Structure 1
């Protein structure tokens, strides 16, 4: 029990130790109010969103659609990301980021509510589901760059790695619960109610994000317009080989993994695993793995951030291979667990590198280029998944997904900066309003940092 020395009547001679109750545990110093609000809101939407992804796929199938139709709805959700991400990133670096996030969450709430009503009313048409999925994707296009910039501005350099790891652990924990619960609820009560729950989650998250404080962010210097901001972001992006190299890598990897997860996974589950429940369980195991990986990254701080992270991308090929082999549910779950742990090492390392190397006032634009490159090929991949299955076979298409992940990951290791970028031990000095490198160290070869 703790003891406190107090003075009675102003005389030190009367002081004596007095027992006190243990203090309630407080938040870590890096868990600021904004960080806590952002984490809570993201957990709420994670619980709803992961179940909604399963619900949307099975809503299409229950309406009489096939794998090609599931791919079209998935593509309709992703296409607006490609079209509007760069504009969303530029706006998020101009406007208060929390307002952009609230507006985007409101659009997602309304579009998912309409999707739920459509499904619950019966006989939804493909074009209607594609339209509503597209509205949801539009909201995501404006939300994602603003959210990533807001998160990175809410932590300091010294604690960034641990803060991002804990954030991602909370998010993936919500993904775990959302995928498992969503799969079970789709099987029990149908996809419409799961979509309705997702709409409610977006409404709650919008309220939480409206409470964010942006007073600590310096006012933005007047710019020369949206196009000038986009060009400035492009110069920042293209001048960093490690950055564009990994984005190109994930352009391919995300496309093929997205096709496998959004199209082939539900089809394999329906034909061989028993339906939505087992597929939801497999996705939940991936969530367990990501939580474990994030927990690992709260302790492990690899010196070569991107080398360690990129090596851990290779297992991303395993789920496609397991689906190609129509592996039993237990094997598929084990594969998803291992993949989740490994990919989370990359995720935390990537966020730490961005936070370390990119000036605060350009974070949303860089995030937009990152997201843009990462999702640019996903609409085409998901739309072509059905025709590819028809032309080559489902197993052959899945093997192609696995091979492409391995090839692009091996290729990005040829970029010297990916192998040599090192973690800094000192906080990064952010650029002044006029722009410029994040610090003087950013002008040195990456192999010399740290």
Structure 2
């Protein structure tokens, strides 16, 4: 742990991530409230904001991951944050001219840039952090990100309500500019550019081949798609469970979300402390996580006691932290460096696609078989992922990488 905290790359990446999280929450809350004010609480405008946040993930995730594999990671992360900062100045100008719809562009630009910079951060961690410390590094990062899950909405709301949209956009410019400046201190590398002889299309094809050649990655891809559908079914229904099952006002849903954030915070700390053990037994950890998520899904819809629901959400947060630490460590440690971006770009959109499909089906399912039926289907889908986690091989990816070298 002490050696990790002395690692210059880890500290720079961590500080940059924290700055970006602050920027994301200021952006999310400020733009949400600003758009609601400008559109007279038009739900179409609000839903468009959400769509513009997720749509670039499908369009640019694989593209961003491919170019993150081709480009030098230090330049990529600096360029990404610099572009985000400059875009804030353009949006500030457009707002000053009365074109309030320009704020939608802030979400689009930020979402696109993140598809290039996030895989590059993973490459930096893989390159500069000892393999045995990767789990601890991911756990620390997840804990701090969980803290933003709890405090982020409050922080973002405060900036907008107290300072207004112009000051919020200026704050975003400063935050992204600081993140870019800090990453100037990352070490440069003499990364071989042999892949530049190939076209981007051929790189994408080789990325799909890499995933298909690895049993673990194929299993994870299927698992992500199924669990994404399950999460998508229940996510829009949380507010109805709060009102109908617990008899609380809809505003109370935020406290249950915060409870899950608390669980993620403590789960991340615990996972960081025992990272070597949980990564060693990753198949068991992922399997138990799926079982816990399945049981918690049923508990949420059956519970009529707010205290029980809070406990369930805290446990869900702990399980989520363990899952994220194990999964992220697997992606960093076991995938060849030149394939990290493309692998993320292929696997992670399946989760998002599943969530959007589940969210689309959610209303239809509730109308046909009510809340209990929807949560039961989500629970069964989550439990079915155990079939895939139990088939994960703990040595397969490393062995295959040797064959590829």
TM-score by length of 1: 0.72
Task: Report the equivalent of 1:359.
Answer: 336
Q: How far apart, in 2, do the equivalents of 1:200 and 1:254 lie?
A: 35
Question: What's 1:208 paired with?
Answer: 182
Contact 1:310–1:346 under 8 Å retained in 2: no
What secondary structure does 2:78 align onto? helix
Matched residue, 1:100: 76
Q: Does 1:42 align with 2:17?
A: yes
Higher mean C-alpha displacement, 413-422 vs 224-233: 413-422
2:219–2:389 CA contact under 8 A, matched in 1: no
Partner of 1:374: 351
Task: Give the direction of change, closer, same or farther, for the CA distance of 1:224–1:76 in structure 2 (3 Å limit).
Answer: same
C-alpha distance in 2 between matches for 1:149 and 1:84:
18
Q: Verify: 1:89 aligned to 2:89, yes or no.
A: no
Distance 1:393 1:408, change over 3 A: closer
Query: Deviation per CA, 1:149-206, whole angstroms, max 9, x where unpaired?
Result: 2222221212222222122223323443323423555666667755654443222212
Higher RCO, 1 or 2 (CA under 8 Å, sep at least 6)? 2
Cα distance in structure 2, aligned partners of 1:190 and 1:332: 36
* SS in structure 2 of the partner of residue 158 of structure 1: helix
Deviations 1:261-318 (A, max 9, x none): 5x6668999996464xx55554443332212111111233133203312421455568
The 8 Å contact of residues 88 and 172 in structure 2, kept in 1 or not, is answered as yes
For 1:221, the equivalent position in structure 2 comes to 194
Write out per-residue CA displacement over residues 47-82 of structure 1, whole angstroms, 9 at most, x where no aligned residue. Answer: 232353344444444433455543332111111111
Answering whether residue 119 of structure 2 is matched by residue 145 of structure 1, we say: yes
Gap change, CA 1:141 and 1:174, over 3 Å in 2: same
The answer to whether the 8 A contact 1:100-1:142 is kept is yes
Asked whether the equivalents of residues 148 and 367 of structure 1 are also in contact (C-alpha less than 8 Å), the reply is no
Distance (whole Å) between structure 2 residues aligned to residue 190 and residue 334 of structure 1: 36
Cα separation, 2, equivalents of 1:412 and 1:314: 9
Give the equivalent residue in structure 2 for 1:172: 146
Q: Counterparts of 2:294 and 2:388 in 1: how far apart (Å)? A: 21
Q: Indicate whether 1:293 and 2:267 are aligned.
A: yes
How far apart, CA to CA, are the structure 2 residues paired with 1:48 and 1:417? 39
From the superposition, tell whether residues 218 and 138 of structure 1 become closer, same or farther in structure 2 (CA, over 3 Å).
Answer: closer
Over the residues paired in the alignment, what is the CA RMSD in angstroms?
A: 4.2
